[in-house]
Amino acid sequence: MNNTLDIKRFGKVLRRDGLNFFPNLILSLAILWAIPVVIYLFTSLMPTDGTKNVFDAFGRINIIETLTKIAIIIAPARLYQYCNDSRKGIGYAMLPASTLEKFLSMVIYCVIVTPIIYVAGALAIDSILALFNGPYEGFAATYYFNEFAQIDSSIANHDVAGLLDDTWPIFVKNLSPTFLRILSLLGLLTLSSIFMFGNMIFKKRKTGKMIGILILLAIIIMIISINYVANNEALIEYFNQINENNVTEFIERMIFIWMNVALYTEIIVSALLLFGVYRKIKTQKY
Partner 1 sequence: MIKINNLDFAYKNTQVFKNISLEFPKGNIYGLLGENGVGKTTLLKLICGLQKPQHGSVTVDGLIPSERQPQFLQNVYFLPEEVITEDTTPEKFVQKIGVFYPRYDFALFNQLMKELEVDLSKKFNELSHGQKKKALLACAMSLQTDYLFLDEPTNGLDIPSKALFRKVISQYCSDDTTVIISTHQVKDVENLIDPIVILDRDDVLLNASFAEIIDKVYFEYGPERLQNAYYTEMLPGGYINVMPNTEHLESNVNIEALFNAVMKNKETIKNLMK
Residues that bind partner 1 (CB under 8 A): 1, 3, 6, 9, 12, 15-16, 19, 23, 87-88, 90-91, 93-99, 101, 282-283, 285-286
Tell me whether residue 15 or residue 205 sits nearer to partner 1 (CB atom): 15
- Taking the least distance from each CB to partner 1, the nearer of 47 and 96 is 96
Contact between 109 and 21 under an 8 Å Cβ cutoff? The reply is yes
**What is the DSSP-derived secondary structure letter of residue 53?**
P
Ramachandran bin of 5, using left for φ above 0, alpha for ψ from -120 to 50, beta for the remaining angles:
beta
Q: How far is the CB of 87 from partner 1 (least distance, A)?
A: 6
Q: How far is the CB of 90 from partner 1 (least distance, A)?
A: 6
Q: How far is the CB of 111 from partner 1 (least distance, A)?
A: 23
Distances from the Cα of 124 to the Cαs of 21, 39, 57, 127, 131, in angstroms? Answer: 20, 15, 13, 5, 11
The bridge status of strand 136-137 relative to strand 55-56 is parallel
Q: Which residue, 87 or 204, has its beta carbon nearer to partner 1?
A: 87
Query: Closest CB to partner 1 among 81 and 127?
Result: 81
The C-alpha atoms of residue 134 and residue 137 are separated, in whole angstroms, by: 7
DSSP lists the bridge partners of residue 56 as 137
| Residue 203 Cβ vs partner 1, minimum distance, rounded to whole Å | 15
